[in-house]
Structure 1
Amino acid sequence: MSVEIKKVTDKETLRKFVQFGIDLYEGNEYFVPPLIYDEMATLNREKNPAFDHCDAAYFLAYRDGVIVGRIAVMINYKSNEIWNERNARFGFVDFIDDEEVVDTLFGVAEEWARSRGMEKIHGPLGFTDLDHEGMLIEGFDQMGTMETIYNYPYYKDHMERMGYVKDQDWFEYLIPIPEEIPERYARMADVVKKRFGLMVKHLGSKKDVLPYARDIFLLINKAYKDLYGFVPLTDRQIDYYVDMYIPMLRLEFLTLVIRQEDHKLVGVGIGLPSLAQALRKAKGRFLPTGWYHLYKALKGKDNKVLDLLLVAVDPEYQGKGLNALLFSEFIPAARQLGMEVAESNPELEENNRVRSLWSDLNAKHHKTRRAYSKQL
């Protein structure tokens, strides 16, 4: 049977679009499913404020009435203006190992982008830098994370067969958590605090986070502005992410670095106990029991893995040792809770400043992911 493409136009079909991205990996021991509710919200024009400056279409591929592939194609007009490009993005892409399916899916996405005047398509990317991005090309035998994409090895082969080329790579690291703060970290942390008049702010409750919540995202805007594909978050997007992420925080792994003279936030580090196993048990559903697995992973003391979600440092202080100060706070907090290993979020291949942090910690580069691009 030939491949039939259907555009997603209603909530019921959108749910099938999201569910296929879970069903395809049934039985895979490394795949970590997202929460269906969260994916639906991200793709919903009425809920996601990214649609203030984005357009998108979602397509499903069918063969003999059965879903065999999916793809989202997006245009972030704000990104194109900032970077002076005419790019489309593809993301939320999954497919069976079949050339006809893959070629038909990408053909529809490319034509949608081309018809809107775009000159290049790249991905996997989302609407923002906080969405999942980067196709896994190494590390297929490693557990996925809440923040990243897992895909089968054959995806890479199809991308290259269709003429897609490397646009950007990200590296991920598995980092043994030391029993004590390494001497270099401790020394650098002390020097940085004294030299620049900085202090670490410890918060006692989620309510205490709220006065800093917007400043955290404004700092991310400032710190990440030159990174691949980054688009500053708008006020509406900041409000959206504050409501999404602040309730999830575990305060032991929220480190705020404040300049004493004016109380300005100049650095932030955020970690979270790994939710990978909890999400696998939830199988994409918050109810009826998914919430319990997530709560136990977040609040319990049996979680051995810490996810390092993000580090953002004001450009004025980048390269001056603030990263060591941030991680000096994480290490004792993680050890006190019995954690044994940390997993980094994807780091751009050329981000040597962050990668140098792991040199004292016997870190293992265990995953690589890639953004591909193609001229239209």
Structure 2
Amino acid sequence: MSVIIREVTTKKELKKFVKFNIDLYKGNPYHVPGLIEEEMMTLDPKRNPAFEVCDSISFLAYRNDQVVGRITGIINRGSNETWGQKRARFGFVDFIDDQEVVDALFKAVEDWAKQKGMEELQGPMGFTDMDHEGMLIDGFDQVGTIATIYNFPYYPQHMERMGYVKDQDWHEFKIFVPREGIPEKHQRIGEIVKKKYGLKIMKFKNAKEIMPYAHKVFNTLNEAYAPLYGFSKLTQKQIDYYINMYIPMLRYDLVTVIVREEDDEVVGFGISLPNLSHAMKKANGHLFPFGWIHLLKALKTKPKVVDLYLMGVLPEYQSKGVNALLFNDLIPIYNKLGVEYAESNPELESNNAVQAQWDYFKREHHKTRRAFIKKIG
């Protein structure tokens, strides 16, 4: 039977779209399923404020009335304006190992993008940098994280077969926590930076304490990430959306914010979380009735692994030692909790400054992921 491509237009179809990823990877020891409700919210124009600056379309591929693939097309108008490009993105992409299925899915998105006047298609990427991006090309035997995509090795093979080429790579590291404590050079640099620029470390015990700094953190993120691949600044509505989504799941002892004492502005931040991969696998996409128990337990326990979920430093303070100040605070906490290593999550291979911060630590480059690109018009 030939492949049939259908646009996703109903909530029932959207749920099929989201669940396909979980069904496709059932039993895979490395795949970490997301939460069905959260992904449906991300893809819902009525609930995700990213749709105010993005156009989007989603497709399902069927064969014999069975879902065999999915893909979303996205045009981030803000990003295109920022970078002077006419690019569409593909994301939320999964498929069985079948050339006809893959070709039909990508043709649907390429045709849509061309009709919208786009000249290139890149991905996998999401609506914003807060969504999953980058197709795994190395590290297929490593357990994923909640912030990343896992995919079968045949995915990038199909991309290359269709004429897609490398646009950008991200590297991921295991950074082992030094048992001897803060590296001496780190400690010295941190103290110098703290005094020179009049900085102080902020710690929080609850949501009430952190909320006055939440918008400031995202404003710093907007400035810090502005030069990075494909980034477009988050709007205030998007910032509110992410604050409401993520503040409740923070582990406050693993949040470090650095402010300038003279005006209380955030110049840097580090947000890490206990690694939730195994808890998410147990939840299998469902928060209820019991998924929340696994997640709550993982958030409250002493973790062996932490995820470096978000980090950022204002451009004028980058390469001046502010990162040392962040880790001077976090390393003793990690050691107290018994953390063995941290997952860096994706870092652009071209971002030498970010990767240089691991020079003082034992580390292992264990995953690489790629954004592909193809001219379509």
TM bracket (short chain): over 0.9
1:66-91 deviation per Cα after TM superposition (whole angstroms, max 9, x unaligned): 11100000111111111111110000
Measure the CA separation in 2 of the matches of 1:144 and 1:293.
17
Secondary structure, aligned partner of 2:213: helix
Alignment of 1:125-140 (within 5 A): 125-140=125-140
Measure the CA separation in 1 of the matches of 2:361 and 2:313.
21
Q: CA deviation at 1:352?
A: 1.1
Q: Given the alignment of the two structures, is residue 6 of structure 1 paired with residue 6 of structure 2, yes or no? A: yes
Shift >6 Å, 4+ stretches:
none
1:244-303 deviation per Cα after TM superposition (whole angstroms, max 9, x unaligned): 0111111111111111122211111110001100000000000111000000000122x2
Q: TM-score, normalised by structure 1?
A: 0.99
Unaligned runs of 5+ in 2: none
* Paired residues of 2:224 and 2:314 also in contact (CA < 8 A): yes
Q: Match of 1:32, as an amino acid?
A: V
| Map of 1:243 onto structure 2 | 244
* Paired residues of 2:205 and 2:253 also in contact (CA < 8 A): no
Secondary structure, aligned partner of 1:285: coil
| Map of 2:118 onto structure 1 | 118
Alignment of 1:52-71 (within 5 A): 52-71=52-71
Q: CA deviation at 1:107?
A: 0.6
Alignment of 1:222-301 (within 5 A): 222-301=223-302
Q: Match of 2:228, as an amino acid?
A: L
Measure the CA separation in 2 of the matches of 1:238 and 1:116.
27
Q: TM-score, normalised by structure 2?
A: 0.98
| Map of 2:198 onto structure 1 | 197
Q: Match of 2:248, as an amino acid?
A: P
Alignment of 1:307-318 (within 5 A): 307-318=307-318
1:92-137 deviation per Cα after TM superposition (whole angstroms, max 9, x unaligned): 0000011111011101110010011110010000000000000000
Q: Match of 1:279, as an amino acid?
A: M
Name the count of aligned residue pairs: 375
- % same residue: 57
Q: CA deviation at 1:204?
A: 2.5
* Paired residues of 1:181 and 1:328 also in contact (CA < 8 A): yes
Unaligned runs of 5+ in 1: none
Measure the CA separation in 2 of the matches of 1:294 and 1:183.
36
Q: CA deviation at 1:152?
A: 0.3
Q: Given the alignment of the two structures, is residue 162 of structure 1 paired with residue 162 of structure 2, yes or no? A: yes
* Paired residues of 1:323 and 1:354 also in contact (CA < 8 A): no
1:226-246 deviation per Cα after TM superposition (whole angstroms, max 9, x unaligned): 100101000100110010011
Q: Given the alignment of the two structures, is residue 76 of structure 1 paired with residue 76 of structure 2, yes or no? A: yes
Q: CA deviation at 1:195?
A: 1.3
Measure the CA separation in 2 of the matches of 1:289 and 1:23.
19
Measure the CA separation in 1 of the matches of 2:185 and 2:354.
15
1:317-361 deviation per Cα after TM superposition (whole angstroms, max 9, x unaligned): 011011111112111111111211110020000111111121221
1:130-188 deviation per Cα after TM superposition (whole angstroms, max 9, x unaligned): 00000000000000000000000000100000000001000000011112111121111
Secondary structure, aligned partner of 1:358: coil
| Map of 1:17 onto structure 2 | 17
| Map of 1:47 onto structure 2 | 47
* Paired residues of 1:32 and 1:279 also in contact (CA < 8 A): yes
